[in-house]
Amino acid sequence: MFMVIPDVGKVRVSQWAWQTENASFGDLEVVLYTSNTTPGNASVYGDFTQATFTGSAPITIQRADWTGPTLIANVAYVTDPVPPQWDCTAGGPETCYGWILYDLADNTLIAAQRFDAPRVMDVGASEVLDPFRIGLQTLH
């Protein structure tokens, strides 16, 4: 039998994970990545190459920024109401395959998402993660 985290537990775990201040958690940063990498259960920070186009700087996500969590189809989501955005102002073109969220203190990979289609960042291009949300659901 598989373990299940019921909806009320998903909400509580999401609150603990994303909104609780704790000395063991560093600041979180989100960046676009350029390596042709598909995130998986064994992925680590070093598997991804950060974008370097002008305007691709990491964006800090504060724990107080997250809203929620809210339940949508049995998934507990926290959302950042100010979606991360990168604007290419020089350089390029550079192909970005997705984004990663990591702990700045020790580069622990927290979350990663590959885009459905790569984004080419060239002068004038923008990428906005809207909505920028992280979901928790029971998988088996």
Q: How far apart are CA 30 and CA 21, in angstroms?
A: 18
Which residues of the chain, if any, have pLDDT below 70? 1-5, 21-26, 139-140
C-alpha to C-alpha distances, 86 to 33, 50, 66, 72, 109, nearest whole angstrom: 12, 13, 19, 28, 20
- Parse the chain into domains and list their residue ranges: 7-136
Helices (H), the chain: 7-19
Token duo for residue 105? 């203190």
Query: Can you give the pLDDT at residue 24?
Result: 64
